[in-house]
Amino acid sequence: MGSVFLPHLQSGWHVDQAIVTEEERLVVIRFGTDSDKSCMLMDEILYSIAPKVVNFAAIYICDINEVPDFNEMYELYEPMTVMFFYKNKHMMCDFGTGNNNKMNFVVDDKQEMIDILETIFRGARKNKGLVVSPYDYNYKRVQ
């Protein structure tokens, strides 16, 4: 149900504008399809934390079937991917999974997700392109 309430980016232009125009906050984009189970679970978490992180993070959803523009560029081959941007710069995070470019697993704890977003935001404000997650997700490696 969370995907109904979170803002959808309907085209490549909207994705670009969300990334480029946000000057102060971290831009969080969940790429995937609304009907996918992992997307539904992640959307619920993102929707539930949105009011708590509104001061430092803007959360969006982008359907990779409706907007395939970034599938190849960002290697969006998993059913659900969360990516982070700050001041038009892609933010990377080391989750211990071997893929620092994006989060391709569901975080099912609200406080964990808030901590991750806060860590990425703090690193971004210090001009770091790569931050280390406060949690190790080595066991969540996607095959």
Q: Which CATH number goes with the domain that contains 127?
A: 3.40.30.10
Where does the pLDDT of residue 1 fall: very low under 50, low under 70, confident under 90, or very high at 90 and above? low
**The domain containing residue 125 runs over which residues?**
3-140
pTM of the model: 0.94
Nearest residue to 27 (alpha-carbon basis) of 39, 17, 36? 17
Q: How many helices (H) and strands (E) does the chain have?
A: 4, 5
> Per-residue pLDDT averaged across 37-48, rounded?
96
Spatial distance between the Cα atoms of 108 and 95, rounded to a whole number of angstroms:
15
Average pLDDT over residues 27-41: 95
Q: What is the pLDDT of residue 47?
A: 96
Average pLDDT, the chain: 93
Residues 6+ apart with CB under 8 A from 62: 8, 9, 15, 29, 30, 31, 70
pLDDT at 143: 44
How many domains, the chain?
1
Q: Tokens standing for 133?
A: 């997650």
